[in-house]
């Protein structure tokens, strides 16, 4: 149920940190097919049959917010780099305007400490951002940032699985919603609730921009025995959790929540751990969904 999974590096699974990583091959590639596993990787996954006990799983769910608050207490604003790639990867942040000076309303669901919103606010003076996070500590870090301005940004704490976004964001008022390394931290049984929640504040014709961990990402393959919570769902050493998405599951969840798929592809990258001299495959799922209006759906 954690709302702030934005780990582009899996430190708890001994995947290289951002500082230890560099591109083996410049850029990245998109594909509609899942990554093909080696026989060794297949054997490793097939051997993962024992799941974390029901008691521990209930405890992790109950303490999800506490675990994320402790994460931000340990790392403050230093763990994640600012996401300057967001506008490059998602052209809709600029292209969805009818005219250049049009004010754009954006919601970042699961904003962490603001690594995405503050670069956007700097780059685009005609944008207003709603930003919410599961962790009260993360929201306070956002509000303490020198770039935070109530006239251009509204940050608030929210559990997307049960707190109605309409308490802070007018219904049907948002042009673009970003869901970046967030849904993977939510229990699979509650993912649909998150998508339904964000859909209520999205305008008809509005866009949801999604990026998260993809099926068979290297981080998924590095979890040790005793970490598996369910199919493609794992717990890190610090108690935070991570799900690894297939494009089919995400498309099904979004369709059930009333969102139509526009783009849905795996992003494949290779990164190198300089300390270990290993080149490892990273897999992310990058997708775009829209909310149909009455005229569009009829």
Residue extents of the structural domains in the chain: 29-291
Residue 239 · residue 117 · CB < 8 Å: no
pLDDT of 105 reads 93
pLDDT of 74 reads 73
pLDDT of 238 reads 85
pLDDT of 156 reads 96
As assigned by CATH, the class of the 29-291 domain is: alpha beta
Report how far residue 220's alpha carbon sits from residue 232's, in angstroms, rounded to the nearest whole number.
Answer: 8
Each residue's pLDDT tens digit in the chain (298 positions)? 444 444 433 333 333 333 223 333 346 788 888 888 888 888 888 877 789 999 998 998 888 877 767 776 776 554 445 445 455 555 666 666 666 667 889 999 998 888 888 888 887 778 899 999 988 888 998 999 999 999 999 999 999 999 999 999 999 999 999 999 999 999 999 999 999 999 999 999 999 999 999 999 999 998 988 899 999 999 988 888 999 999 999 999 999 999 999 999 999 988 877 777 778 889 999 999 999 875 454 4
Q: Please report the DSSP string for 34-66 in residue order.
A: PPPPPHHHHHHHHT--PPPPHHHHHHHHHTHHH
The whole-model pTM stands at: 0.81
**Cβ burial 214-243 (10 Å sphere, 16+ → b, else e):** bbbbbbbbbbeeebbbeebbbbbeebbbbb
pLDDT of 79 reads 43
Q: For residue 218, give every residue at least 6 positions away whose Cβ sits within 8 Å of its Cβ, in sequence order, or none.
A: 10, 15, 280, 281, 282, 283
Question: How many CB atoms neighbour CB 253 within 10 A?
Answer: 19
Pair of tokens at residue 94: 């600029």
């Amino acid at each position: 149920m954690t709302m702030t999974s934005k780990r582009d590096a899996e430190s708890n699974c001994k995947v290289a940190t951002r500082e230890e990583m560099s591109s083996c091959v410049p850029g990245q590639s998109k594909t509609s097919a899942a990554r093909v596993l080696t026989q060794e990787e297949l054997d490793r996954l097939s051997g993962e049959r024992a799941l974390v006990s029901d008691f521990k799983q209930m405890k992790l769910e109950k303490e999800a917010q506490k675990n994320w608050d402790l994460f931000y207490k340990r790392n403050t604003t230093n763990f994640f780099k600012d996401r300057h790639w967001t506008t490059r990867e998602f052209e809709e942040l600029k292209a969805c305007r009818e005219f250049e000076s049009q004010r754009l309303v954006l919601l970042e669901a699961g904003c962490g400490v603001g690594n995405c919103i503050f670069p956007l606010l700097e780059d685009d003076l005609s944008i207003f951002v709603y930003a919410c996070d599961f962790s009260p500590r993360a929201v306070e870090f956002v509000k303490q940032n020198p770039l935070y301005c109530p006239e251009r940004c509204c940050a608030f704490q929210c559990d997307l699985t049960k707190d109605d976004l309409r308490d802070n964001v007018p219904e049907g008022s948002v042009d673009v919603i970003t869901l970046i390394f967030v849904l993977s931290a939510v229990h699979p049984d509650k993912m649909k609730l998150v998508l339904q929640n964000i859909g209520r504040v999205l305008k008809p014709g509005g866009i949801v921009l999604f990026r998260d961990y993809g099926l068979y990402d290297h981080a998924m393959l590095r979890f040790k025995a005793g970490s598996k919570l369910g199919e493609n769902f794992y717990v890190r050493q610090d108690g935070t959790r991570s799900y690894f998405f297939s494009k089919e599951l995400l498309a099904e969840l979004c369709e059930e929540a009333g969102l139509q798929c526009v783009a849905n592809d795996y992003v494949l990258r290779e990164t190198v751990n300089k300390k270990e001299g290993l080149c490892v495959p990273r897999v992310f799922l990058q997708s775009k969904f829209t909310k149909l209006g009455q005229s569009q759906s009829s």
